[in-house]
Amino acid sequence: MTRAFLIVMDSVGIGGAPDAASFFNDGEPDTGANTVGHIATECAAGRAEAGRSGPLKVPHLDALGLGAAVTLASGLCPPGLGAPPRGLWGAASEVSKGKDTPSGHWELAGVPVPWDWHYFPEVENSFPPDLVDFVAAQAGTAGILGNCHAPGTAIIERLGEEHMRSGWPICYTSADSVFQIAAHEETFGLARLLQLCRDIAPRLHAMKVGRVIARPFVGRPGNFVRTPNRRDFAIEPPAPTLLDWAYDAGRTTHAIGKIGDIFSHRGISALHKGKNDADLMGHLLRLADEAGEGSLTFANFVEFDSLYGHRRDVSGYARALEWFDAQAGRFLARLRPGDLAIFTADHGNDPSWHGTDHTRERVPVLGHGVGLRSVGQVAYSDVGASVAAHLGLRASGPGHSFLQEQD
């Protein structure tokens, strides 16, 4: 028996999604968005110099085939990347209709989303009155604040003071299928915020809203800051996923970071959470040493997306990639013969693009442990099927293993 590590670099897209024209940011189609490609281009042009310098340096991921995958997906040769691949490499396309985190992760885990998500309109009162009344009643308040599309940091700056005064929860949404509630950890209370999200989630899930998200913050007017106590209450995946296939076969499944929340805590033996990606990397490095034979470790590294992609911060995203790459080198050095590690992503979030939302892109599929293998253009669900094949698990769903031919 061997082990498998599936590592999602949240939002690290590589351009070229066949259906990018059907997805938008600020009314502009995502056609041409390319997270890694554009970051590499900006770095090489000297336009990503905050806290780092020069061409993008990601030698470990590039040696697996990152640069080659960008070129395969989008036709762009990313400056500074493109070493001859030594790992398994390819580019995956998504069929689910959302460019959001649950859609991407479920499909990577073998289960495309069969339904249309509900999105709230970008108008002054985004939420229907009966939902507003319901949320206020559950919160025990006479109303809610927000009720609009907004970036989370901007809305707490704008409404945080009023929230502290009135006690009303700040409810907002985005281009994702989400209902988010920001509330002050001390004046509103963290436990109360989490309970409120838990209480309203079933009603939102019944509407096919993917997630209710608690966004706690602290501080005083003028310097509010969000805390790491964010919690996502996600709708359940529509069918058994890779995690269920493994768990139901008696294997140990380790979920690092947001994976537990994204899969509604189904099929998970052990949760490994942290306050930032550095903590999560600590868990991944430890599990490279300690995870048992036959186990699955499924990790999500969220900061590419949450700290840099949505904030359209190219330098920050480049720094995060360079840090992650160095850690990936340490991680790979700890693996044992027979282990499979796959690095991939759930969607794009090109920090050089219009708007502040995710971008529809292909994602890299970079594998270590099976030698040099070009798998070409694959489907997201093939990733889950391949991990299952490696672990000797019975898979369901539409995916096909890209390992099988030579196994």
Ligand X SMILES: O=P(O)(O)O[C@H]1O[C@H](CO)[C@@H](O)[C@H]1O
Q: Among 305, 325, 339, 361, which residue sits at the site for Mn ion (rule: CB under 5 A)?
A: 305
Tell me: does residue 244 bind Mn ion (CB under 5 A). Answer: no
Residues 128-157 touching ligand X, rule: CB under 6 A, are 151-152
Residue 247 CB, shortest distance to ligand X, in Å, is 25
Work out how close the CB of 368 gets to ligand X at its nearest, in angstroms, rounded to a whole number.
Answer: 28
Q: How far apart are CA 362 and CA 162, in angstroms?
A: 42
38 assigned binding-site residue: no
Of the pair 325, 346, the CB lying nearest ligand X is at 346
Distances (CA, A) of 141 to 128, 133, 145, 150, 156: 17, 9, 11, 22, 18
- Which x/- pattern over 195-214 shows residues binding ligand X (rule: CB under 6 A)? ------------------x-
Q: Does 10 bind Mn ion (CB under 5 A)?
A: yes
* Under rule CB under 6 A, residue 359 binds ligand X: no
174 binds ligand X (CB under 6 A): yes
CB of 36: closest distance to Mn ion in angstroms?
A: 15
Instruction: For the CB of residue 357, give the shortest distance to Mn ion in the complex, in Å.
Output: 8
Encode 64-114 in three state secondary structure.
Answer: HCHHHHHHHHHCCCCCCCCCCCCCEEEEEECCCCCCCHHHHHHHHCCCCCC
Among 176, 244, 346, 361, binds ligand X (CB under 6 A): 176
Distance CA 99, CA 320 (A): 21
Q: Which stretch binds Mn ion (CB under 5 A): 159-167, 210-218, 258-266, 341-349?
A: 341-349
347 is in an annotated binding site: yes
The contacts of residue 124 (CB under 8 Å, 6+ apart) are: 147, 148
Cα separations (Å) of 129 from 34, 143, 211? 39, 11, 19
Task: Return the range that interacts with ligand X (CB under 6 A); candidates 55-63, 126-134, 170-178, 195-203.
Answer: 170-178
Which one of ligand X, Mn ion, none interacts with residue 346, CB within 5 to 8 A by kind? Mn ion
361 binds Mn ion (CB under 5 A): no
Burial 76-93 (b: 16+ CB within 10 A, else e): bebbbbbbebebbbbbbb
- In order of 33, 102, 113, 318, 358, the CA distances from 355 in angstroms are 12, 21, 25, 19, 9
Q: Is 354 annotated as a binding residue?
A: no
Is 99 among the residues that bind ligand X (CB under 6 A)? no
Q: Compute how many residues bind ligand X; rule: CB under 6 A.
A: 11
Among candidate residues 222, 123, 110, 127, the one with its CA nearest the CA of residue 169: 127
Q: Is residue 100 part of an annotated ligand binding site? A: no
Stretch 82-101 residues interacting with Mn ion (CB under 5 A) = 101
Least CB distance from residue 4 to ligand X, whole Å?
26
Asked if 346 and 9 touch (Cβ cutoff 8 Å), the reply is: no
CA dihedral angle for residue 268, residue 398, residue 386, residue 404, rounded to 10 degrees: 150
Q: Are 33 and 366 in contact (CB under 8 A)?
A: no
Q: What angle do CA 400, 247, 295 make, to 5 degrees?
A: 80
| Token couple for 206 | 């019944």
Kindly give, in sequence order, each residue whose CB lies less than 8 Å from that of residue 237, ignoring residues fewer than 6 positions away.
102, 106, 109, 111, 263, 264, 266
Distance of closest approach, residue 108 Cβ to ligand X, in angstroms: 16
Q: Considering the complex, what minimum distance in angstroms separates the CB of residue 393 from ligand X? A: 29
**Contact residue for ligand X among 48, 109, 178, 388 (CB under 6 A):** 178
Footprint of ligand X on residues 310-329 (CB under 6 A)? 310
Residues of this chain that bind Mn ion (CB under 5 A) = 10, 101, 305, 346
Question: Binding site: residue ranges?
Answer: 10, 305, 310, 346-347, 358
**Which residue ranges make up the site for ligand X (CB under 6 A)?**
101, 151-152, 174, 176, 178, 180, 213, 215, 306, 310
